[in-house]
Amino acid sequence: MGRLFGTDGVRGIANEELTPQLAMQLGQAGAYVLSRENKHKPTIMVGCDTRISGDMLANALMAGACSVGANAVYVGIVPTPAVAYLTRKYKVDAGVVISASHNTVEFNGIKFFDGSGYKLPDSLEDEIEALIRDGLPDIPCPTGAGVGKIKYRTDAREEYINHAIQSVKVDLSGMKIVLDCAEGASFYTSVEAMKELGAEVVAIHNNPDGTNINANCGSTHMGELQARVVYEKADLGLAFDGDADRLLAVDENGQIVDGDQIMAIVGLHMKNNGKLNHDTIVATVMSNLGFFIMGEKNGIHIEKTKVGDRYVLERMREIGASLGGEQSGHVIFLDENTTGDGLLSAMHLLQVVVDTGKPLSELAKVMEVMPQALVNAKVPNHKKENYMDYPEIKEAINALDEKFAGEGRVLIRPSGTEPLVRVMIEGKDKAMIEAEAKKLAELIQNIML
């Protein structure tokens, strides 16, 4: 069995890989590790997205936490960033989100935040994992009054909306916005926030039934939103993923504005208003080459990390940056929240549109997007980290590095959450890079299967 924790918590097919038993063990080990230094009875806050397995796993996890003497507060269906914010606000010992983010309904995941609302460092995740693998030795299981209890709260989503509105004061009166809620956790919060700020809202995919989360909608399937923005003659469109920690946008012409472009637009506006700490944005190696060129032109230093918003966040904290994120739409505004936040990202982007009076299509011209080809090679999960151990794959990658030197770049990496090796090639000739990326991905898949 490979490592339980990936780049975004524990994830797998619910009731097969991620079982109620494992959820209970994670509740026990997590509550113990995250609160053992405290003398008081610890409290864990738990929320989930809209997928049908959420209640099953949340209740199993809370049962585990209660069995080791911790209390649980269940806030139900809320965005991931809401749990991060509320964990910090109410000074509970830890927060847990039951979500598989942008993945389809059969998947689910368990992600921990510490008492300050930050994702756990690898060392703490390793400690939780080791306890589970060792059979949870020496963890006390109290009886009588020592057992924990569960409190249910229904006001969490309103508190999160109020936090976002207070953080970014913007008047959206006169604006028409199409929202794609991915049948996920933003189905209420994003719609209500935009309405409260005065926008005319056209909401799509905001009727979750437990099984339709991310189904051909949201930030991983933008086609319908693009068409709807044009049809509605809207000012722009906003797409969230299942747990609403990421955002992508669509301009008034139906063109996608990705995470790099959002960071470029908002980052430059923040710099011009003296709010971009150290004139620095933290991004990953997967960010578009055009984003780095934009930074050079505008006096913005762009710090690179490996892929994963947790690594972006770690670097932001180390250097005191206020803005960072990923091309996929995880954007972190560290002055306002401790994780990627789709609603805050939307409001910051809308603030630039309102302040400048410019349409999103014009604002997006701040950076030229270089063509990228991203192709996934499906490989066994336990092999995905070892793709360079195969001589034929290594030779093919080296050959492509030489071919695109000075004219682009080649980036190969294993997915942190799925059984995939991702092949990304960036260059000027779109047809050529797409053909080369497909060819390399097929080679990796055929050799490693």
Considering the candidates 99, 101, 186, 219, report the single residue annotated as catalytic.
Answer: 101
The one-character DSSP state at 366 is: G
In this structure, the strands spanning 107-114 and 94-98 are antiparallel
Please check whether residue 276 is in contact with residue 322, taking contact to mean a CB–CB distance below 8 angstroms. yes
Domains of the chain from N-terminus onward: 5-156 (3.40.120.10), 168-366 (3.40.120.10), 372-448 (3.30.310.50)
Closest CA to 237 of 246, 245, 227: 227
Contacts of 310-318 with C-beta under 8 Å, sequence gap 24+, read: 310/7, 310/8, 310/119, 311/7, 311/284, 312/282, 312/283, 312/284, 313/118, 313/119, 313/338, 313/339, 314/121, 315/282, 316/282, 317/118
pTM above 0.85, yes or no: yes
pLDDT at 2: 64
Closest CA to 368 of 434, 306, 425, 426: 426
* Segment (H or E) for 176: strand 176-180
pLDDT at 8: 82
The one-character DSSP state at 357 is: -
DSSP 206-261: ----SS-TTTT-GGG--HHHHHHHHHHT-SEEEEE-TTS--EEEE-TTS-EE-HHH
Closest CA to 97 of 128, 68, 118: 118
**Distance in angstroms (rounded) separating the CA atoms of residues 437 and 274:** 41
pLDDT at 403: 87
Please check whether residue 372 is in contact with residue 429, taking contact to mean a CB–CB distance below 8 angstroms. no
**Distance in angstroms (rounded) separating the CA atoms of residues 285 and 131:** 34
In which residue ranges of the chain is pLDDT below 70? 1-2, 37-39, 406
Which tokens sit at 166? 């207070």
Which tokens sit at 183? 């049948």
Closest CA to 312 of 2, 8, 3: 8
The gap from C-alpha 341 to its chain's centroid, in whole angstroms, comes to: 8
pLDDT at 348: 98
Is residue 101 annotated as part of the catalytic site, yes or no? yes
Which tokens sit at 173? 């009166």
* 151-167: pLDDT as tens digits: 999 999 999 999 999 99
CA distances from 40 to 26, 45, 83, 153, 306 (A): 21, 16, 22, 22, 38
